[in-house]
Structure 1
């Protein structure tokens, strides 16, 4: 196996938090237990996808608050929260509150754009302003200013006997602004993120420029390099520009024969979408990586996008059972991570 020129510094994982609509509490509890397991295994971060009107976590902020009280070290983030569904001021209040409860461990990942299937929900989501809402970068810029503690109004001070008013979002959590991430899938959004002081989340889905060959790894590499160039030239960055890659990896080192068959069926069903650009925007999906940790490490070392990062948040398959996630996370922490030059942090009690 080749030696990595850039040892993996931070290892995280991403989950959708799937649940059965007949018993949604069980699925949410499973996600919390997985985050607890991640901390015991030494993972640096756990990330939650944001799903609305689906059978996945619709309120990752509530889940992060719960997880923060059941863990002490692991960082917890969203990858990503689509701001088109959110009121930026209220979101800023909630995230700052949870970050304070977590002791500064929250990493909000964001994206902009019109909500998925907007025509089917806009009359309920924005009954009076559906055709007036701005779903562009200005929405996330406004949110970032609020998180940074910039004034949102001129009014402040005491009113009456006990009422005290602030001109900024409260509570304010110092340091949260430099932990804001942007989920970029195109060169344009990657450059915007760098120029505007966001860390970069680069996932298993990207949108190539018109003149680019449909080579996922090379396009991802180009986007990361463009992001770093924009970040280096910007005065907006509140801290070092960080990049995290989020591919789907499924190590099978300790998997049972039934699990290996199940994992392979999942990957095989998703292969066709990786063979050519999808949809009007030419969306590209990265192939899932499956095999032993040694085999996956070999593929990652050869991946042009991976060669540019020292942080990852490997995505867990969406539809697996709790025991499958335990197996995958245990293999990532015990086998794959070390093969990539990573060392676990603060490993505690045995896995349950």
Structure 2
């Protein structure tokens, strides 16, 4: 069994051609799509976090709302940029959202991707310490988050508090038991994948990785996943780790699918620079008739290595159409590949 969910960036655009024209639309439709996905039998509703953009940005109100409207589906992020986060306040938000959802939160965190503004985290009041990079700051914040999620007391209580305290040092509240094991690190390199394993985090890998060998995207991604699993084993963690990957997959099963995505152009990996001196490879999408997709997806090494597949959805096409996109994969593709 492979868990299959969707990943939405929550784009919105006031254009008349968009089905998601405001931030309100993006948020409310995200909730409705999560409800629809659960009814279809999907396993996860995941959301990307981007700041200074017409996309989803503040995840915890949305995660809590989805948690209140659903009962089974996993609810997560892919990913929260830890350069922008106060990790202790994040523990409180995450704990509350996870309790509302009944322990279904799956939080993907990371250093993040290139943003809409230069050093956007500075506007949020965060600056790397001397000798640190912004990536170092993200990892440090992640370490603080992971430690606080254990639920151990660390703060000295006031001897004259407003309300009575339990004995000993105080922890952050509300505490959600088990959430520490449901933190994922979004990795783009073998090195950060190995670090995530050592830290005891699950692994998320998107449709982009840093180009470390020139090999096809799915091969490099699979190699990173194998390195992660080996590092996890060497670290001696007690539980079994989870690995998710993202893919753009569109099964052409009706005329609307063909009108939107049936271009007939061959799909292939793209190599390029996302930052100065940072060469990356962006993975190809998969579009075609179900039988064609089944053959092509069976050759994707990274999909074979992962236990969770997140389907990127074109959210501006509306809830009904995106529910159809998810249902098409669950119905026409997943059973033939042994994912269901």
TM-score of the alignment, normalized to the shorter chain, above 0.5: yes
- 1:215 counterpart = 2:208: no
Determine the structure 1 residue equivalent to 2:243. Answer: 243
Partner Cα distance (1:117, 1:152) in 2: 36
Question: What is the CA-CA distance between 1:160 and the residue it aligns to?
Answer: 4.2
SS of corresponding position for 1:103: coil
**1:56 positional shift:** 1.2
In the other structure, the counterpart of 1:301 is: 298
Does 1:277 find its partner at 2:264?
no
Partner of 1:194: 197
Partner of 2:173: 170
Residue in structure 2 matched with residue 225 of structure 1 by the alignment: 226
CA-to-aligned-CA distance 1:94-144 (integer Å, 9 cap, x gap):
001110111100000000268725536455321xx5354752422211111
Query: What corresponds to 2:206 in structure 1?
Result: 203
Q: How many residues align?
A: 325
Distance (whole Å) between structure 2 residues aligned to residue 32 and residue 136 of structure 1:
28
- Contact 2:38/2:70 (CA < 8 Å) preserved in 1? yes
Identify if the C-alpha distance between structure 1 residues 333 and 164 changes in structure 2 by more than 3 Å, giving closer, same or farther: same
> Aligned equivalents of 2:205 and 2:285: distance in 1?
15
Structure 1 partner of 2:137: 135
CA deviation after TM superposition for structure 1 residue 277, in Å: 3.3
**Retained in 2: the 8 A contact 1:112–1:137?**
yes
Alignment correspondent of 1:86: 85
8 Å CA contact 1:111, 1:183 repeated in 2: yes
In the alignment, is the contact (CA less than 8 A) between 2:4 and 2:42 conserved in 1? Answer: yes
Deviation, 1:317, is: 3.1
User: Are 2:8 and 1:15 aligned?
Assistant: yes
Residues 122/199 of structure 1: CA separation in 2 closer, same or farther (3 Å cut): closer
1:299-338 superposed matches below 5 A = 299-317=296-314, 319-338=316-335
Q: How far is the alpha carbon of 1:298 from its aligned partner?
A: 1.5
Name which of structure 1's ranges 131-140 and 51-60 shifts more when overlaid on structure 2: 131-140
Alignment of 1:53-68 (within 5 A): 53-68=52-67
User: Does the CA contact (< 8 Å) of 1:158 and 1:164 recur in 2?
Assistant: no
- Residue aligned with 1:246, SS: strand
Equivalent in the alignment of 1:43: 42
The answer to whether 1:149 aligns with 2:148 is no
What's the CA shift for 1:157? 6.7
Q: 1:233-265: per-residue Cα shift (whole Å, max 9, x none)?
A: 114x46211111211111122x3x243122235
Distance (Å, rounded) in 2 between the aligned partners of 1:60 and 1:160: 32
Distance in 1 of aligned mates of 2:8 and 2:112: 22
Deviates more, 1:77-86 or 1:115-124: 115-124
Higher relative contact order, chain-length normalized (CA < 8 Å, sep 6+)? 1
SS at match of 2:301: coil
The unaligned stretches of length 5 or more in structure 2 are 15-20
Evaluate the alpha carbon distance shift between residue 37 and residue 195 of structure 1 in structure 2; reply closer, same or farther with a 3 A threshold.
same
**TM-score (ref. length: structure 1):** 0.85
- Give me the whole-angstrom Cα distance separating, in 2, the residues matched to 1:123 and 1:341: 46
1:339 aligns with 2:339: no
Q: Please give the TM-score of this superposition, normalised by the length of structure 2.
A: 0.87
Query: Per the alignment, do residues 216 and 140 of structure 1 end up closer, same or farther by CA in structure 2, a change over 3 Å counting?
Result: same
Please tell me whether the aligned partners of residues 86 and 141 of structure 2 are also in contact (alpha carbons under 8 angstroms).
no
Task: State the distance in 2 between where 1:118 and 1:10 align.
Answer: 35
Distance in 2, Cα, partners of 1:205 & 1:168: 37
Sort the Cα spacing of 1:121 and 1:195 in 2 relative to 1 into closer, same or farther, 3 A: closer
